[in-house]
Every structure is written in C-alpha cells, then in structure tokens.
C-alpha cells in the first residue's frame, strides 16, 4: 500500500513536470503560461502536501509496526517463559514419578521376601511352642525345693504309717517268727533279701 501511494505521487509529479516542460517548449501566451504556472504551482503544492501526508502515514505505519513487533516479541518471550516453566514442571513431575516407580518396584521385590521371612518365623514359633511348654513343664516338675521335697516325704510317710497296709515300708515280723538273739532278749528282725536278676 505504501508503494502504491509513492508510485501514484511520483506519477502525478512527473505528469505535472512534463506538462510544464511542454508548455514552456511550445510557447504559450502570457495568460496561458501564467495559468499553467499557477496550475503547476498548485499541483506541486498538492503533491508536496500529499508527500507529507504519505510520509506521516508511513511514520505512523512504521511506529505501529514496531509496536506490534515489540508486542509480538514480548508475547513470544512470555510464551517461551511459560513453556519453559511448564517443561520444568513436567520434568519435575516426571522425576517424581520415576522415584515413585522405583519405590513401588522396590516394595514389589521386598514384599515376597518379607512375607516369606514372616512365614518362616511363624513356623519356627509354632514349632517352638510345644517344645517350650514341654521344657517348662519338665523344669517346673524338677524344680522342687528342699522344703517341697520334705513336705512330700512327710505326706508319704504319714500316709504309709496311718494306712492299714504298708506299701512302701517292710511289714513287721510276727513275734512267732522273730529270732531272738541270745545276747539280748529283744527279737531280731529278719530282712528280706531280694533276688538279683
């Protein structure tokens, strides 16, 4: 558009100059030459005004173009910054996701090992429970103190002495079977000899 206005201005100027030159060469009358001069002057003034307007419009156009380019550059820079921020955010999320995947994979590898270890420990505990109970019972049975033993012996002896039949002590020898010692008048008890096998 700028070029079309310039071409139009140059065309009008060249037409005016050509007209003036033709009038001067072929000679005109005084009044006609003055009219031609006035027309040429007026055309030159109009051309100058049009050139000023064109220059002013061109300046405004250049300013508007520079402003729009500045706005475009600012918008581009802003969009680049926002894109870089988004990329950084995505990279950060990607690294967090990678860490999370690693943790999940580690948990997947650990879980069966831990489960198997717990299973083995439970088996061992289940096997040790009866053994522990048996050991405790054996310990508690064999763990009688001297006072407990004396008490048990006393009860057995009292039970033996108060019963009608003796189970643990040897039975008394009847007087008819008793052999008397010649030195003493007391009867001698005979002890039974158990056969040895």
152 burial type by CB count under 10 A (0-12 exposed, 13-18 middle, 19+ buried): exposed
Task: Dig out the tokens for 3 from the structure.
Answer: 């070029």
* Lookup: tokens for 38: 């006035």
Residue whose pair of structure tokens reads 């031609």 in the numeric block:
36
Which position has the token pair 């039949």?
165
Whose tokens are 């999370």? That residue is 100
Q: Which of 156, 185, 197, 189 shows the shortest CA–CA distance to 170? A: 189
pLDDT at 166: 66
> Which residue bears the tokens 């009292």?
158
How many helices (H) and strands (E) in the chain? 3, 2
44 contacts: CB under 8 Å, gap ≥ 6: 13, 16
CB 47 within 8 A of CB 13: yes
pTM of the prediction? 0.33
Please report the pLDDT score of residue 156 as a whole number: 83
pLDDT per residue as tens digits for the range 87-145? 999 999 999 999 999 999 998 888 898 999 999 999 999 988 888 888 888 877 776 66
Mean pLDDT of the chain: 79
Q: What is the pLDDT of residues 65-97, one digit of tens each?
A: 999 999 999 999 999 999 999 999 999 999 999
Q: Which residues face 179 on adjacent strands?
A: 188
3-class secondary structure, 171? coil
Tokens of 42: 């007026």
pLDDT in tens, 150-174: 888 888 888 877 877 766 666 666 6
Which pLDDT score is estimated for 14? 76
**The pLDDT of residue 147 is above 70:** yes
User: Residue 58 and residue 56: Cα distance in Å, rounded?
Assistant: 5
**181 versus 24: which is more confidently predicted?**
24
Residue 149: the pLDDT is: 76
- How much of the chain exceeds pLDDT 70, in percent? 72
């Amino acid at each position: 558009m700028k070029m079309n206005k310039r071409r139009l201005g140059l065309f009008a100027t060249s037409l005016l100059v050509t007209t003036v030159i033709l009038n001067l060469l072929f000679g005109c009358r005084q009044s006609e030459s003055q009219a031609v001069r006035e027309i040429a002057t007026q055309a030159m003034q109009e051309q100058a005004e049009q050139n000023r307007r064109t220059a002013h419009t061109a300046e405004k156009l250049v300013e508007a173009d520079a402003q729009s380019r500045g706005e475009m550059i600012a918008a581009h820079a802003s969009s680049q910054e926002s894109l870089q921020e988004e990329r950084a955010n995505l990279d950060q999320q990607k690294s967090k996701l990678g860490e999370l995947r690693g943790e999940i994979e580690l948990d997947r590898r650990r879980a069966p090992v831990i489960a198997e270890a717990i299973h083995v420990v439970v088996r061992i505990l289940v096997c040790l429970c009866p053994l522990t109970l048996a050991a405790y019972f054996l310990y508690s049975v064999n763990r009688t103190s001297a006072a407990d033993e004396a008490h048990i012996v006393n009860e057995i002896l009292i039970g033996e002495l108060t019963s009608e039949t003796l189970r643990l002590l040897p039975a008394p020898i009847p007087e008819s079977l008793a052999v008397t010692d010649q030195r003493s008048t007391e009867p001698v008890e005979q002890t039974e000899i158990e056969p040895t096998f």
